Chain A
Amino acid sequence: MTWLSFHRVRDLPWAALAGAVALLIAGVFAAFYEEQLYQTQRAQAALGEAQTLAASVSAALSFGDRNAAEEYVRPMLVNPGIAAAGIYKKDGSLLTGLARDGGRALSPRLSSLTAMTNARELVVPVVQSGTALGWVYLRLSPEPRATRLSRYAVVVLLAFMAIFVIVGLGNAQGRLARQSESLSAANARLQSEIAERERVEEELRQSQKMEALGQLSGGIAHDLNNHLMIVKGNLHLLKKKLSLPDGDRHLQGADEGIRRAAALTQRVLGFSRKQSLSPVETDLNELVIGMRDLIRSSLRENIETEPHLDARSKVLVDRNQMENIILNIVVNARDALPAGGRVAISTRDVTLDDGGASRGFALLEIADTGVGMSPEVQAKAFDPFFTTKPVGQGTGLGLSTAYGFVTQSGGQMRIRSAPEEGTTISIYLPALVSEETSMGDRNG
């Protein structure tokens, strides 16, 4: 198919191409079969005529009556398919014969004394009552090229038409399929790009908000802490000068207030990431087990805990801060369970897609069966000073401090919650790829 450019051939679906080839082959076979059939019929017809001539010319041949023989030969040439007819004696020499004008003359001797039939000539014996008398020879007219071509033309035309239809259809279908394919691919790409952008924008907004709040509150907490230390120092000097007893109730009250205020500033500093952390290699499972008593005393009698500690990888965190955060979340869970329930603490190893590359994380989850959060509360839960608790009971710094700490430690924090369906707080911390853990992996 040289008339097709390379491009079009490449675009052609294979099924269409195979169909076209099959049709072409079928066309060739049909033409071949037609030709064979035609030739056989033609030879058969000629054989019939030769046999008739052989039967009628026998006496004339036997007695060498050339004129009589010629009378039998002449009508043969009425058939345009016969180019020449000859009557040969038993020894193969020509008795008489006729050839069409312009045609090749009859040979004076038969080349071989045997009966034969092919597409161009035939020889049949002349036999009378079992006695061989000679031979009849017929030469068939070469078929005019126009007649022959007209026989093939229909088949060839049909095959070509079929091929063109198939090629056309295949092309159109292929183009359509490619268009819709690329269209849906583009659409999917667009969708995922939009989603990705929305997520990134949301994260950016959140981190900007946190950053601004952190700077503001961090500055305040820092200065406040300094002022508190001044108040505390002066209070001690005053106590000495007034030589008040150590157990003075008012002094104790003031000290307690200073201690609480200092603790608060620490939490604010923790949230604003201005806190100095001392991260060490930590096994989260051991950490949780070590907090067992603390957790139990923080919860009421009607709350069960069930730990599932399956993480194998270790993390790099400040242990004190980590304990504080776990305690905060457990206390949140207790507050969400006024009528009792269950708090599940679990750890396990997960792999997250971290900007294209998958990375190992240790996941700590604290799930309660409590009141849960509405979507609005959930959206603001990480905000500093956001609380739904009565004044004096909650500061709204628990989750925001945790958020600050976890992100500062290179991790992520997520909330999964619905009203009346409980809350699950997830903390992802980057798994520490130490020699020990990888060895442990291999042995385990």
Chain B
Amino acid sequence: MAFLGARRLRCVFAVGLMGLAPCAAAAAESVPLEDTVKAAYIYKFAPFVTWPTHPAAGAPFTICSIGTDRVSVLLPQVTAGQRVDERPIQIRALAEGEPPADCAILYIASSVAAGGVLDAVHGKPILTVTSLEGQHGIVQLVTVEHHVSFDIDAKLAAEDGLTISSKLLGLARTVTRPAVPPS
């Protein structure tokens, strides 16, 4: 059996990007590919997560960000033209202390102290994403050997009323499972 497509690409970070610049061009820019990939990952979690509330038909899918870092800055760019369940993606940058109303996903940039924000949204059906080591959002983006991956805290997600598809869990580097798995 010939393994087609097994040829390793030199720019591994470009793998997950769709409709973006080819790696050679991306590599030439000042923005590290790692951050672009992380930014693209954030909206890609959406199809594998089930929110308890159903949005109104035609309402945009809202991804919020709080604080600023290279990933949050790239968010509008990587989500441009993309859709989640036929809904356009809306990016909203929250001011410090602004309530995360309508946010399905909340990215907590490395510039803010994640702990306080996470405590504030705990119990709300919002998928929190962090990228700084040790921040512990529901999804924690990590870089392992130049490869972007993620850890998932399914226990925390369950507490917030979110269900995460096992397909996504299967792809995660580590999964923190709830004591009693949600039925």
A residues neighboring B (CB under 8 Å): 56, 58-60, 62-66, 68, 70, 74, 77, 86, 89-91, 94-101, 105-106, 128-131, 133
Contacts and interface: CB of A to CB of B under 8 A. Distances in A.
Contacts of A133: 47
Residue among A65, A77, A128, A133 with the most chain B CB within 10 A? A128
A66 B16 CA distance: 10
14 contacts: A59-B171, A64-B16, A64-B17, A68-B170, A68-B171, A70-B3, A74-B1, A95-B5, A128-B47, A129-B50, A130-B47, A131-B47, A131-B83, A131-B84
B6 A66 contact: yes
Given A91-B18, A129-B85, A62 B1 contact: no
Contact of B85 (A58, A86, A96, A130): A130
B167 interface: yes
Q: Which 7 A-B pairs have the closest CB atoms?
A: A130-B85, A64-B16, A128-B47, A64-B15, A96-B5, A59-B167, A131-B47
Contact of B4 (A56, A96, A128): A96
A130 B86 contact: yes
A101 B167 CA distance: 30
Given A59-B165, A59-B167, A131-B83, A91 B5 contact: no
Contact of B41 (A56, A63, A101): A63
B44 interface: yes
| Range of interface residues on B (Cβ < 8 Å) | 20 to 34
B5 A66 contact: yes
A82 to B, nearest CB: 12
Given A56-B167, A68-B171, A91-B18, A129 B4 contact: no
B2 interface: yes
A103 to B, nearest CB: 9
Interface string B34-58: 0000000100101110100000000
Nearest to A74: B1
A343 to B, nearest CB: 122
A66 B83 CA distance: 23
Contacts of B170: 59, 68
Interface in B8-43: 15-19, 41
Contact of A98 (B3, B48, B171): B3
A128 B86 CA distance: 11
B1 A98 contact: yes
B6 to A, nearest CB: 7
Nearest to A94: B5
Given A94-B5, A96-B6, 11 more contacts: A63-B41, A63-B44, A64-B15, A66-B15, A68-B170, A70-B3, A70-B6, A91-B19, A99-B1, A105-B4, A129-B50
A186 to B, nearest CB: 81
B146 to A, nearest CB: 14
Contacts of A90: 18-19
Contacts of A97: 4-5
Nearest to A133: B47
Residue among A60, A62, A74, A133 with the most chain B CB within 10 A? A62
